[in-house]
Structure 1
């Protein structure tokens, strides 16, 4: 009984003005997080989503493996004489196709958070304003690396032998991750612009499918009609797929690397700027 009385007395004790002022004013405020720290924090948040919902890794593991198995054994004999010969050409292109296709989930995740009201909270935080958007992209880059490792591992089991060795493979994957980071800015804009996640996925697939299939991922452009070659040869997916293929083969495709890096820079400048303007005004 005495314990309860003492506790109640302590809880009901009046707060003095000077003691409250000491708590609010006397101590220094914690330092404001920098752009890198804030971006990494939001990136870690994106990774925690995968930790709690591991089904999100399905599109970067099972789906790419299913694609490489189907296309290699279905079309390898008809297009290259044997699956072992075809996979040398197909795997780098399929790697580009699979990673570029899963970039659309960046826009879907952003749209979902907007619908739930999470972004309203982000906008009130005293952090670098683009940190929330960059954090999404940094988290997705980890997914791109996981997908690359899975596909290359399966390819090696199936007979893929890159003449460029480990360095060539790493260079090809690095180029692909940079390009995918740039493409993700396109879908962040759609994630802010469109109302539902289904709309984001629909628009994304409408853009991705023509770009990936009308490229040199599956066959060489020389086998296509002349009017189609004109589009395929100027398709950014073709430049990236060719550059990745050549790097893994041990070559240094200067022209294709220039196109791939140029397209990446242009996408970031254009769509990154549009995305941040929309994010600041919406």
Structure 2
């Protein structure tokens, strides 16, 4: 365990240096959620029945979760890059724990996500979003958000290790943009057809978005929803546990024989 912690810390540093050498990507990933908040909040918000500030309070938790779900894309692309550019083969010749490499990538992604959440929340405050719940509940919401990002990154790493090429990983990663659209992240699901609403409510993004809205005090838990949305904190923890329990061991095993 101590070897895993040491090797993981070293490889965490490697991933952070990798991001430092690609500042354009970091700037893009950090500014995109803010851009979407301003665009959705002021353009789409004017077309919805909710008043502007009320919609932006509804939107901020959804965009936080949609950004966390992008861990699928970043994890997939970075893992595929390492595999298909020979970095993984070089790392496998070193005396390091096999679990340390994907763990370092997931931990570095978590650090960058946590740092990027701060300016997004500040912009959210500027456009009218507020934390209406307790400080403890808000801290729990942020912890749940980072746990979901960590779980999504592991899923992305596994898919990246399984990808046939960087291009295939990039195309599949881009397709993950559809996941928040099929959820309650941007709009309420009440008006959807029954089958589509059920699909949206079983989307992990919907459970986590509902949990954040409830913990921040922005919107109550809807009644008559599917179990993950009706019990959003428990549903979110279950989804995170399933993703990590399934994807992390498979990713480590795949890395060891990549």
Q: TM-score with structure 1 length normalisation? A: 0.82
Contact 1:64 1:151 in 2 (8 A): yes
Contact 2:152 2:243 in 1 (8 A): yes
Counterpart of 1:111? Answer: 80
Selected match of 1:275 from 247, 251, 255: 251
Report how far residue 115 of structure 1 moved: 2.4
Report how far residue 102 of structure 1 moved: 4.5
Q: Secondary structure at the match of 2:213?
A: helix
Selected match of 2:11 from 39, 42, 48: 42
Report how far residue 131 of structure 1 moved: 0.2
| Equivalent pairs, count | 250
Paired with 2:91 and 2:195, the residues of 1 have a C-alpha distance of: 48
Paired with 1:49 and 1:256, the residues of 2 have a C-alpha distance of: 36
Paired with 2:157 and 2:238, the residues of 1 have a C-alpha distance of: 20
Selected match of 1:100 from 69, 75, 99: 69
Q: Residues 79 and 61 (structure 1 numbering): CA distance in 2 closer, same or farther, change over 3 Å?
A: same
Q: Residues 44 and 80 (structure 1 numbering): CA distance in 2 closer, same or farther, change over 3 Å?
A: farther
Q: Residues 134 and 65 (structure 1 numbering): CA distance in 2 closer, same or farther, change over 3 Å?
A: same
1:75-127 superposed Cα distances (whole Å, 9 cap, x missing partner): 22222443211111111001111221244112211221222222122112222
Paired with 2:254 and 2:91, the residues of 1 have a C-alpha distance of: 15
Selected match of 2:123 from 133, 154, 157: 154
Q: Residues 33 and 116 (structure 1 numbering): CA distance in 2 closer, same or farther, change over 3 Å?
A: farther
Selected match of 1:248 from 211, 216, 221: 216
- Mark the runs of 5 or more structure 1 residues left unpaired by the alignment: 1-31
Q: 1:104-253 maps to which residues of 2 (within 5 A)?
A: 104-206=73-175, 208-249=176-217
Q: Residues 136 and 256 (structure 1 numbering): CA distance in 2 closer, same or farther, change over 3 Å?
A: same
Counterpart of 1:29? Answer: none
Report how far residue 251 of structure 1 moved: 8.9
Q: Secondary structure at the match of 2:185?
A: coil
Paired with 1:100 and 1:276, the residues of 2 have a C-alpha distance of: 21
Paired with 1:236 and 1:70, the residues of 2 have a C-alpha distance of: 24
Report how far residue 171 of structure 1 moved: 2.0
Contact 1:33 1:127 in 2 (8 A): no
Larger radius of gyration: 1
57-66 vs 256-265, greater mean Cα deviation: 57-66
Contact 1:179 1:264 in 2 (8 A): yes
Paired with 2:15 and 2:241, the residues of 1 have a C-alpha distance of: 24
Report how far residue 277 of structure 1 moved: 2.1
- 1:88 and 2:57 are equivalent in the alignment: yes
Selected match of 1:259 from 212, 217, 235: 235
Paired with 1:173 and 1:266, the residues of 2 have a C-alpha distance of: 19
Report how far residue 255 of structure 1 moved: 2.0
Contact 1:39 1:131 in 2 (8 A): yes
Report how far residue 248 of structure 1 moved: 1.1
Counterpart of 2:225? Answer: none
1:53-96 superposed Cα distances (whole Å, 9 cap, x missing partner): 21121233211111000000012222244321111111100111
